[in-house]
Amino acid sequence: MSKKVLVLPGDGIGQEVTASAVEVLDFITDEYNLDFSVASMSVGGTAFNKYGTPIPNEVLNAAKDADAILFGAVGGTEWDHLDWKDRPENALLTLRKELNLFANLRPAFLFNELSEASPLKKEIINNLDILIVRELTGGIYFGEPRGIVSNKEPNYAFNTMIYNEEEIRRIAKVAFESAQKRNKKLCSVEKANVLEVSKFWRSIVTEMSSDYPDVELSHQLADNTAMQLVLNPNQFDVIVSSNLFGDILSDIAATLTGSIGMLPSASLDSSFKGMFEPCHGSAPDIAGKNLANPLAMISSLSMALRYSLNEIDMSDKIDNAIKKFIQAGNRTMDIATDEDYLMTSDVAKKIIEIIKDE
Ligand code: IPM
Ligand code: MG
């Protein structure tokens, strides 16, 4: 049976970068006779404008039915004034929650050829290769009770940071197993000096470590990790953290590489079905101008092939092609050092040429 790929371009540059990824997907599908069926639907602000909701039911159902989802980006100033339920970002959180995509893998790696683009010195940043494993369907993002109380003196607002044992175990398992496949170091990040939920998190992760004697486990407080990522990022291999801390730390890690336009991510459920999206947002300032870097999206396609579509060779081909593309000096605007750069629509063509030549 053919594997179902659902493309959700979303808003802004999401449209352009998913078009590039689909071009690569179409090419490998034809060239290597893969059995994929690809459909595309509106989500985010684009869906709100057409249907009055950022996540129509048909889209949610198609997403549940898909083997892999390629998600572009959502959001834009046009929709900033809307209530939360209508906002483009709500589509993202609904998909994560409804599809049970609890494991968010956010690699941050540097092509040494691009070290000039990093805000850090070469000696600190060269060879960077970190994987952040962020919990994505729990914690303070979804914790109940939550609310704004506006009939009291003074008024107040509150959220709940909550994790149960199973939620911690399943994300820690993904993190330990990822570390086993990499350099066998895992750093668990929380605020156990202040928060009960963090103490609990630390105790469970510590208890689980006896099942992974080959993985060296350490613990850090989130504020310290923010600092360590900038001072000495190469001390890390895999980092595991909660929804909120993982959100913050993954932005820091992504920035270290110089361009957020290079980094992919995967959000997986327990059967490794998932949604794959670039780390960058919808970038309204450059949207529609053919200037965006589609490599993060093409690299997200590679993660989809690896994790959800069981096409590891294809994933390797794309990763190698991206590496060669950079090594050959090809640049998009965000990573260029001069005016000589490729437009969005040129990138997929080059990547396809490189794959053909392999
Ligand atoms: C991310 C984003 C989202 C988050 C926003 C857009 C809701 O920052 O994926 O990191 O906070 O998870
Ligand atoms: Mg974020």
Mean per-residue pLDDT, 182-207: 98
Parent domain of 93: 1-101+269-358
Q: Is 89 near ligand 1, meaning CB less than 6 Å away?
A: yes
d(CA 191, CA 280): 27
Q: Is 11 near ligand 1, meaning CB less than 6 Å away?
A: no
* Nearest atom in ligand 1 to 243's CA: 12
Whole-model pTM: value is 0.95
Into how many domains does the chain fold?
A: 2
Write down the residue that tokens 């092509």 correspond to. Answer: 111
- Do 250 and 281 fall within a single domain? no
* Nearest atom in ligand 1 to 247's CA: 10
* Nearest atom in ligand 1 to 136's CA: 12
Please determine, for residue 291, whether its predicted confidence score (pLDDT) is greater than 90: yes
Ion ligand 2 residue ranges (Cβ < 5 Å) = 247
The predicted pLDDT at position 260 comes to: 84
The predicted pLDDT at position 259 comes to: 81
Q: Which residues participate in catalysis according to the annotation? A: 141, 191, 223, 247, 251
- Do 299 and 235 fall within a single domain? no
- Do 252 and 274 fall within a single domain? no
Centroid of ligand 1 to alpha carbon of 281 (angstroms): 9
- Is 121 a member of any domain? no
Write down the residue that tokens 């989500």 correspond to. Answer: 43
Please determine, for residue 261, whether its predicted confidence score (pLDDT) is greater than 90: no
- Is 189 a member of any domain? yes
**SS3 label, residue 159:** coil
Question: Got the DSSP string for 84-115?
Answer: GGGSHHHHHHHHHHHTT--EEEEEEE--GGGG
Mean per-residue pLDDT, 69-74: 98
The model's confidence at residue 76, banded by pLDDT at 50, 70 and 90, is very high
- Do 338 and 292 fall within a single domain? yes
- Asked which of 256, 279, 297 is the last residue of a domain, the reply is 256
Centroid of ligand 1 to alpha carbon of 167 (angstroms): 19
Q: Cis bond leading into 213, ω under 30°?
A: no
- Do 143 and 85 fall within a single domain? no
- Is 119 a member of any domain? no
- Do 140 and 196 fall within a single domain? yes
Single-letter amino acid, residue 331 = R
**Residue whose CA lies nearest to ligand 1 atom number 5:** 89
Bridge partners of 149, per DSSP, are 156
**Residue whose CA lies nearest to ligand 1 atom number 6:** 89
Please determine, for residue 350, whether its predicted confidence score (pLDDT) is greater than 90: yes
Q: Give the pLDDT confidence of 147-188 residue by residue, as tens digits.
A: 999 999 999 999 999 999 999 999 999 999 999 999 999 999
| CATH number of residue 194's parent domain | 3.40.718.10
Q: Which two tokens stand for residue 215?
A: 């993985």
Write down the residue that tokens 């605007």 correspond to. Answer: 333
* Nearest atom in ligand 1 to 92's CA: 7
The predicted pLDDT at position 358 comes to: 85
- Do 143 and 174 fall within a single domain? yes
Q: Is 92 near ligand 1, meaning CB less than 6 Å away?
A: yes
Q: Is 142 near ligand 1, meaning CB less than 6 Å away?
A: no
Q: Which two tokens stand for residue 334?
A: 């965000």
Q: Give the pLDDT confidence of 89-137 residue by residue, as tens digits.
A: 999 999 999 999 999 999 999 999 999 889 999 999 999 999 999 999 9
d(CA 321, CA 314): 11
To the nearest whole number, what is the mean pLDDT of the chain? 96
- Do 234 and 146 fall within a single domain? yes
Q: Is 167 near ligand 1, meaning CB less than 6 Å away?
A: no
Beta strands in 112-225 (DSSP E): 129-135, 147-149, 156-158, 185-190, 216-221
Centroid of ligand 2 to alpha carbon of 251 (angstroms): 6
- Asked which of 256, 279, 313 is the last residue of a domain, the reply is 256
The model's confidence at residue 337, banded by pLDDT at 50, 70 and 90, is confident
- Do 275 and 252 fall within a single domain? no
Q: Which two tokens stand for residue 121?
A: 């010195």
- Is 110 a member of any domain? no
- Is 117 a member of any domain? no
- Is 124 a member of any domain? no
**Residue whose CA lies nearest to ligand 1 atom number 11:** 247
Strands 36-40 and 147-149: unpaired
Please determine, for residue 1, whether its predicted confidence score (pLDDT) is greater than 90: no
- Is 262 a member of any domain? no
- Do 82 and 12 fall within a single domain? yes
Question: In the chain, pLDDT over 70 holds for what percent of residues?
Answer: 100
- Is 13 a member of any domain? yes
- Do 225 and 319 fall within a single domain? no
Q: Give the pLDDT confidence of 16-57 residue by residue, as tens digits.
A: 999 999 999 999 999 999 999 999 999 999 999 999 999 999
- Do 145 and 222 fall within a single domain? yes
d(CA 23, CA 11): 18
Q: Give the pLDDT confidence of 48-67 residue by residue, as tens digits.
A: 999 999 999 999 999 999 99
Centroid of ligand 2 to alpha carbon of 248 (angstroms): 6
Beta strands in the chain (DSSP E): 3-10, 36-40, 68-73, 103-109, 129-135, 147-149, 156-158, 185-190, 216-221, 238-241, 264-268, 274-278
